[in-house]
Structure 1
Amino acid sequence: MPELKTHVRALVVGGGAVGTGIAYHLGRAGWDTMLLERDELTSGSTWHAAGLLPLFNMSYATTHIHKYSVDFYKGLEAETGLNAGFYVVGNLRMAQTDARMDEYMLYSSVAETADVYHEFLSPKEIADRWPLVRTEDLKGALFHPQDGYINPADVTMAMAKGARQHGVTIERKWQVDGYKWTGSEWEVSVSKMVEKGGNLVPSDETAVIRAEHVVTATGNHAQRTARLLGIKIPAIPVEHQYIVTEPDPALVEWRKTHDQHPVLRDADAKWYVREERGGWILGPYERNAPARFEYGVPDSFRADLFPLDLERIEEEYMSMIHRIPSSESVGLKDDFNGPICYTPDGNPLVGPAPGLRNMWLAEGFSFGITAAGGTGHYLAQLMTQGEAEIDMASLDPKRYGRWMTTEYAARKNEEAYEHVFILHHPDEERPACRPLRTAPAYDRQKAKGAQFGQVNGWERPNYYGPVDAPADFDHDGRSFRRGTWWPHAEAEAKAIREGAGLIDATAFTKHWVSGPGATAFLDWFTTNKLPKVGRINLTYALTDAGTTRTEYTIVRREENGYYLVSAGASTAYDADYLQKSMEDWIANGGAWVMAHDVTTQWGVFALAGPKSRDILKALVKDADPATALSNKRFPWLSARDIELGMVPTLAIRVAYTGELGWELHHPIEMQTHLWDRLMEAGEPHGLTLVGARAQNWLRQEKSYRAFGTELGRDATPLEAGLDRFVDLEKDFRGKAAMEALGVRSKCVTLLIDGPADADPWGKEALFADGERVGRLTSGGWSVAFGKQIGMGYVRPDLAAPGTKLQVRMFRELYEAVVAEDSPYDPTNARIRVDG
């Protein structure tokens, strides 16, 4: 037997479908790669997976990953000689309600932007093609004829053979026991696993493997991986059960003259069904499925299953009989109840591990078979090229901070499982584990009718509903069109434009950067000129590939002291990149610099609107309060320490809404006092409480790009139309790569003549003369123009103001026109107004 290799460029830990797919693509990229599996390939969740390949997803990145997998699997046999067991039978998503059809039409929009072919079928068309399916209570279906299901073991073995053909070494029965970073590579301690009393246990045979890069794809064992690495990974398995019936005589007869049924998904009944040897496989996503192995998988659990709980899935079983009446008299042949990993939002964790160098995570796959090939492809791009061709930030492991606990992850993962087939409204807010992170003013906001959303665990008002609403008023009435919140958000947006509004922005990420090297570091780290002391600027940190990594508002407080404000959802994401960049700077001879995450130390209120200065004048303590907020003493894009009542406040004259306004950064322990004083001062001026949804509409009227939508790792600031925030006279990180990319597409703002009852969500495809030419990244309603508004990317030749385009909404094309940048108040006169 050949000896274990002790040095590789990349070590992949985990031999399920995901790990094998990653090893394949790293090998194909030319990296010396080894895969370690503690048991046998496919012995984790892979072996008992149903093998479905659901293409449709609300996530742009995940849709691309799934599409790549489906296309990739079809070519594996030609490459490896092994049949991957891919049955291209199609995928039929049925809808019992109009709301479900609306969801499918939004799915269709995302699929269209990723070139995923699909069709819509009427109930009659379904019945004509597959008469065993009851259709009289259906509204229709979304059909994708090019996917289906695959044998998980077969596709894994085919990828493993392909990996070996690309030079990958695969070793079974080796367990990782420890990781140590030496400063240039990982030393990975491993032990040989042996059978003992039916368990798999470490033997005395050990080794150390040195690897430049490590990828963990450990599936159900993610909690053990997290402990070994000293990090948090919110990937915890949830029980998933499915049953296999005896042959159905009606199906057997049908198959004598017809091909297989597509994979059937009755989302409103919370199940999928596919054919299996003349019978049916039913896979439900029921309520009350428990999380398992919160603290690790027992040594005694290998390719094992849990006892079936038929009572838990009785409702779903009966609904299968309703949908496929011939299944009523068919007995059960087999059952499976095994662990499948989830994350709090249901999306996997793919990308660099927090705080660690050259450590990559590929954990938390609830649809691991579907995602394995695409994850391998795009993660290999991240590792070998620095960035993937699509923005992978939505899957980054650092979207969860260290505040996340095991209890939180377990309960949210159970919720994510239950919500697989629950309507996925774009304005969806899931209730589990809430409220958890609350700013001091939370109770006061709730008493005023605040309806909260969650961002990075923080409770943040989305809008303010009626305080005196009847008991049966549906505050959570969501829709793929305009939900019950819509008129409240519209009123809030108008209040900002016409009077004054108060927005809680406490969730903003905040860092203090200081030290003798702070100025030189930030000058290299960001694209814009640094502000003078007492001033601010908007700037961007780039990836080494030249695309946008982070957006910052930088407030220069001292010669070498800077207050950085960035997106609230990105605290751990930004902190990690900032810290690693500083380490690189110092290692390359830069002067010492340090950063502190001060997010939880400072609350933030945004006060905006034509009357905002009058409200602050009533509170500011100054020798000359009448002029304290004037343009002369407090100009636009400046920051000052002021006193509002008894609260020392860093006031920043900027407003994300495009009106006269200030951000009021205050000690968080004084927040309720400041809230009360602002409410008192604002009452004579009609101060309105405003939530995040109205603010999102208003910022689009100003063409303010948002990180995570218009701004991301698949576009440069120049493509985003942010040239004025990029100083090409200086050198900065990613500059040469940015310039080499050129302008491949251009960000535009669109005014849309859309349907009377709906607004775009920022997922829709854009067309010119019947040709798809781009996609929206944001959408909403403009109170200034009285029509829908959106932002997105198109070909550069179509970015000129006045260009006529179309937006696909609910399968119809609606007219849109490219507006000038900042169509509302393009000269910023309202922001600069004096007083």
Structure 2
Amino acid sequence: MAAFPTTARVAIIGGGAVGVSSLYHLALAGWRDCVLLERDELTAGSTWHAAGNVPTFSTSWSVMNMQRYSAGLYRGLAAAVDYPMNYHVTGSLRLAHGRERMREFERARGMGRRQGIGLETLGPEEIRPHYPFIETHDLAGALFDPDDGDIDPAQLTQALAKGARDGGATILRHTPATGVSRAGGEWIIHTPRGDIRAEIVVNAAGYQAQRVGEWFRPFGGRRVPMMVMSHQYMLTDEIEEIGAWSREAGRKLPLLRDVDSSYYLRQEKTGLNLGPYERNCRAHWATPEDPIPEDFSFQLFPDDLERLEWHMEDAMARVPILGRAGISRVINGPIPYAPDGLPLIGPMPGVPNAYEACVFTFGIAQAGGAGKVLAEWVTEGETEWDMWAVDPRRYTDYADHDYCVAKGKETYGHEYSMHFPRHTWPAGRDKRLSPLHDRLKTAGAVFGAYNGWERANWFAAPGDDLSEAATQTWGRSGPWEKRIREECETVRDGCGVIAISGFTRLALEGKGARAWLDGLTASRIPRPGRIGLLYFTDRRGRVMTEMSAIPRSDDEIWLITAAVAQWHDAELLRAGSPERIGVEDRSDKYECLLVTGPRSRAILSTLTDADLSAPWLSVREAAVAGRPAVLIRVSFAGELGWEVHCAASDAPNVWDALTGAGAKPFGMWALDSLRLEKGYRTWKGDLSTDYTALESGLERFLALEKAPDFPGKAALLAERARGPARSFVALTVDADDADAHSMATIWKSDEAVGEVTSGGWGYRVGASIALAMIRADLATPGTEVDVEIFGERRRAVVRERDPLWDPENLRLKA
């Protein structure tokens, strides 16, 4: 028996498919001194009872990348590690009952083909040749995924384990981690067999991840945002017709998903596996009276089929031979859910040298890609694909226990639901309310959540249809369309005011703060009294984040960034800051009111004695409506305007004064339209680590020749010398009722040449706009391309590099 290891470079806690995949990929990266701890046998958590489906389908670009990688890895894994596996690539059919679902499928098809996945959309008459036992009379069509299939979860895990061991890694079964401590900048992982000292630790504890996460609270950690759902699937007896068909065809039936009825149906040997996602779902271990057991290895919940009756009846109507088979077994086991149903992969918020790879709802489909992503985080400090969609830092401290349970249940019940761009689910709302909330509500605000903060998306008028059905559309038209147009026209012709609650506000303070920050950013820091955009790049020159800097002195700098970037950007600053420099988060203390439009100076001048002739990008402290404020002459709407930053408690008085003087409220959706016309980028929309700062068209904000080196300087200088391969452009699109969506493919003839990063209608220019990344040689103004929008190629034209609206910034600088 091998000696118990007392040291390791990386220690992974949890021996499910994800933890073992992480270990395997660390070994592939050459990190041999790594250890995995499992309290029982490998797969003892959710892995052992997982159904083992391996879809590539996703409407998230990064999650699709991850699942595509998994499917490709699994196809060659048995040969790569010399371990036999049952992996059936059967293909799958997702059924559509109506036009909106088919549009979702067309969107996914376009994304998939851009990633090399051969997704196809089918008409109703094309379904039965793939699946002869199905009723199709009421269907609108289907999406066929040739790479979908199913795999034995235990065999997958053992194959990954063999590959990890062959690569030099160590797996300790029956070795539960019982806690962690710190010594000399390293982690001490405690077990009944002894302690292990490790540089890096990974929480891959599945549905036990929250319990493991509590060990890290004393070191800056937070409660892991998750809950646990009870998920049931049932296996039928053998069905003679399926056996006969399989013998003749020499393969299994494609996996069937009736997503509008919310279940999957898969061939299991010569029977069927039915797995519903029911609305009347059940959370487990969600209250103090029902705590998670210390050990639930290889255990299940009691059967609870009554709540699945509707789905069972619907499935039997869809595939009648199902109704002639008895149920041979029911699996009812725990599955962890983050509030949005996506896993947590990446740096553990607030904790040094610690990572998370946990809370996987679809752990088998995502394990391969998740191991790759986690290994990249650990070994490189960055990932090949931008993975913000699954980054643990996307949830901050608003994601408390009640929120996680409410959103987890909602997400489970809508697992297959369409995520329309203007529709929001109601659970878990009102977590963060500004002092302006009641005023906005009285004015007709329809709210959206931004890092938990409720902001007005648009303002409804009496009689507007606010029903859920009215918002479930991929098209531009909806009850909001007329109101957004009116709000944009108000900003264009008069004066609008918007409350942008929850901006991330970080104060960098300490001797030499400016000089230290200058070595971290690729941009030049403005002088005191001015505001400027700073871009932070990784060593590849890719954009990690954007912050607005307001220097107060060489030793004090205020930084403002996106609400959702709160923990991400704070950690970016804290990770390498010397002890003499502190980073204070003041996000909850202040409110921002953007006052903008050609009449903004006239209105604001009645409320302040500040010099409103100060130039664009100037910063002034002044009283507004008798309250202390900071006036910043900027406008994300691209019109004359000021951001009024004041104490949150003073915001109602300032709001009342502004609206009383004639400023009209507008919402976030109007602001999004206005910023598109100016070509202003959004974080994790147009700006991400998928693109370099030069590809993103940010050269005017960069100071590549400045003396202090910064991360990515060498890469950006080399890229500038050879020329970027891609260029950021604005397109106007001959769109129909739907504008270009994020990651829509751009075509030149029959060649894919780029993708849309964000799109929408510009009400000031009267055109559909797409901000996009395309091949550099096509970035010349006037070049015609096609944008694929829900399966249709729509003509688009590359516009001038100047903004579409007010290209000389005359209105902005008036």
Distance in 1, Cα, partners of 2:7 & 2:423: 47
Residue in 2 that maps onto 1:629: 612
Q: Does 1:739 align with 2:720?
A: no
Shift of 1:447: 1.3
8 Å Cα contact 2:423-2:468 kept in structure 1 = no
2:478 corresponds to 1:487: no
> Contact 1:59/1:110 (CA < 8 Å) preserved in 2?
no
2:767 aligned partner, one-letter code? K
- 2:58 aligns to what? 57
- Say whether residues 1:724 and 2:712 are aligned partners: no
Q: 2:603 maps to what in 1? A: 615
The answer to whether the Cα contact below 8 Å between 1:546 and 1:739 also exists between their aligned partners in 2 is no
1:398 aligns with 2:398: no
Work out which of the residue numbers 637, 660, 675 in structure 2 matches 1:699. Answer: 675
The equivalences for 1:28-67 within 5 A come to: 28-32=28-32, 33-67=34-68
Offset at 1:88?
0.6
CA contact (8 A) 1:500 1:609 kept: yes
Q: Which residue of 2 aligns with 1:668?
A: 648
Please give the root-mean-square deviation of Cα atoms over the aligned residues, in Å: 1.7
Instruction: Give the corresponding residue for 1:641.
Output: 621
Residue 196 of structure 2 aligns to a residue whose secondary structure is: strand
**Comparing 113-122 with 740-749, which one deviates more in the overlay?**
740-749
- Matched residue, 1:271: 263
Following superposition, the deviation at residue 62 of structure 1 comes to 0.6
TM-superposition CA deviations, 1:776-809 (whole Å, max 9, x none): 1101011233221011211221222222111001
Once the two structures are overlaid, the 10-residue window that deviates more, 360-369 or 415-424, is: 415-424
1:785 aligns with 2:762: no
Instruction: Decide whether aligned partners of structure 1 residues 110 and 338 sit closer, same or farther in structure 2, where only a CA change above 3 A counts.
Output: same
Normalised TM-score (structure 2): 0.95
TM-aligned CA deviation for residue 265 of structure 1: 0.4
Which residue matches 1:589? none
CA distance in 2, matches of 1:578, 1:151: 44
Check the 8 A contact 1:762/1:791 in 2, yes or no: no
The alpha carbon displacement at 1:243 in A equals 0.8
Deviation at 1:463, TM superposition (A): 1.0
Please give the secondary structure, in 2, of the residue aligned with 1:749.
strand
Structure 2 partner of 1:387: 382
Contact 1:710–1:791, Cα closer than 8 Å, also in 2: yes
Take 1:752 and 1:382, find their aligned partners in 2: how far apart are those partners? Answer: 38
1:102-153 CA-to-partner distances (Å, cap 9, x unmatched) read 1111222322332221111111111233221110100000101122111111
Match in the other structure for 1:625: none
- Secondary structure at the aligned position of 2:393 is classed as helix
Select which of 225, 237, 240 maps to 2:228.
Answer: 237
Q: Deviations over 1:375-429 (max 9, x none)?
A: 1112212222221111112211111112321222122111111121122213331
Name the residue aligned to 2:462: 467
Q: Could you tell me the percent identity over the aligned residues?
A: 39
Residue 583 of structure 2: aligned partner: 595
> Do the aligned partners of 2:398 and 2:432 also contact (CA within 8 Å) in 1?
no
1:520-540: CA deviations, max 9, x gaps?
A: 122112222221211111111
Equivalent position of 1:524 in the other structure: 519
SS in 2 for 1:656: coil
Mapping 1:186-201, distance limit 5 Å:
186-191=187-192
Equivalence for 1:203: none
Superposed displacement of residue 644, structure 1:
1.3
One-letter amino acid of the structure 2 residue matched with residue 260 of structure 1: K
Secondary structure in 1 matching 2:323: helix
1:218 aligned residue (205, 223, 226): 205
Q: Per the alignment, in what secondary structure is the counterpart of residue 128 of structure 1?
A: coil
The 3-state SS of whatever aligns with 2:93 is strand
Q: Mapping of 1:565-576 within 5 angstroms? A: 565-576=560-571
Question: Which amino acid in structure 1 is aligned with residue 717 of structure 2?
Answer: E
Using the TM superposition, give the Cα deviation of residue 81 of structure 1 relative to its aligned residue in structure 2, in angstroms: 2.4
Q: 1:155 corresponds to which residue? A: 156
Which residue identity lines up with residue 233 of structure 1 in the other structure?
A: V
Q: How many pairs are equivalent? A: 798
Alignment-derived partner of residue 690 in structure 2 = 714
Q: Which amino acid aligns with 2:761?
A: W
Tell which deviates more after alignment, 823-832 or 249-258. Answer: 249-258
Tell me the TM-score normalized by structure 1.
Answer: 0.93
User: Do the aligned partners of 2:759 and 2:770 also contact (CA within 8 Å) in 1?
Assistant: yes
Are residue 773 (structure 1) and residue 761 (structure 2) matched?
no
Report if the CA contact (8 A) 2:515-2:554 is conserved: no
Distance verdict in 2 for CA 1:129–1:404, change over 3 Å:
closer
Structure 1 residue 675: Cα displacement: 1.2
Q: Which moved more, 1:778-787 or 1:474-483?
A: 474-483
Unaligned runs of 5+ in 1: 192-205, 587-591, 623-627
Q: Give the match for residue 312 of structure 1.
A: 307
Q: What residue number does 1:135 align with? A: 136
Q: Kindly state the Cα deviation for residue 38 of structure 1 after the two structures are TM-superposed.
A: 0.9
Identify the residue that residue 198 of structure 1 maps to in structure 2.
Answer: none
Distance 2:618 2:72 in 1: 53
- Aligned AA (2:601): R
The separation in 2 between residues aligned to 1:607 and 1:551, in whole angstroms, is 22
Alignment counterpart, residue 276 of structure 2, candidates 275, 284, 299: 284
State the alpha-carbon separation in 1 of the partners of residues 716 and 388 from structure 2. 18
1:659-681 deviation per Cα after TM superposition (whole angstroms, max 9, x unaligned): 11111111001111111111101
Question: 2:328 aligns to what?
Answer: 333
Map of 1:359-370 to 2, 5 A cutoff? 359-370=354-365
| Inter-partner Cα distance in structure 2 for 1:260 and 1:468 | 53
1:621/1:645 contact within 8 Å kept? no
Structure 2 letter corresponding to 1:78: A
SS at match of 1:600: coil
| Alignment partner of 1:753 out of 734, 742, 746 | 734
* Residues 699 and 240 (structure 1), Cα distance of their counterparts in 2 relative to 1, 3 Å cut: same
Letter in 1 for 2:19: G
Contact 1:247 1:278 in 2 (8 A): yes
Aligned partner (choices 234, 247, 252) of residue 238 of structure 2: 247
Secondary structure (helix, strand or coil) at the match of 1:58 reads coil
* Residue deviations 1:562-581 (CA, integer Å, cap 9, x gap): 22110111111111221113
Q: Which residue of 2 aligns with 1:817?
A: 797
Q: Deviations over 1:645-665 (max 9, x none)?
A: 122111100001111111111
What secondary structure does 2:52 align onto?
A: coil
Q: Unaligned regions of 5+ residues in structure 2, if any?
A: none
* CA distance in 2 between partners of 1:384 and 1:428 (Å): 39
C-alpha deviation, 1:741, in angstroms: 5.2
- Between 1:284-293 and 1:370-379, the stretch displaced more is 284-293
Q: Secondary structure of 1:272's match? A: strand
1:19 aligned partner, one-letter code? G
Change (3 A) 1:498 1:108: farther
Q: CA deviation at 1:300?
A: 4.8
Secondary structure at 1:176 match in 2 = coil
Mapped to 2, the partners of 1:668 and 1:183 lie a distance apart of 42
CA contact (8 A) 1:94 1:266 kept: yes
Cα 1:474–1:415, aligned 2, differ >3 Å: closer, same or farther?
A: closer
Following the alignment from structure 1 to structure 2, what is the Cα–Cα distance between the partners of residues 20 and 355? 25
Q: Structure 1 pair 688/438, CA: closer, same or farther in 2 (3 Å)?
A: same
* Structural mapping, 1:292-311, within 5 Å: 292-294=284-286, 297-311=292-306
1:468 Cα deviation from its structure 2 partner: 4.3
Please give the secondary structure, in 2, of the residue aligned with 1:829.
Answer: coil
Deviation of 1:272 (Å): 0.5
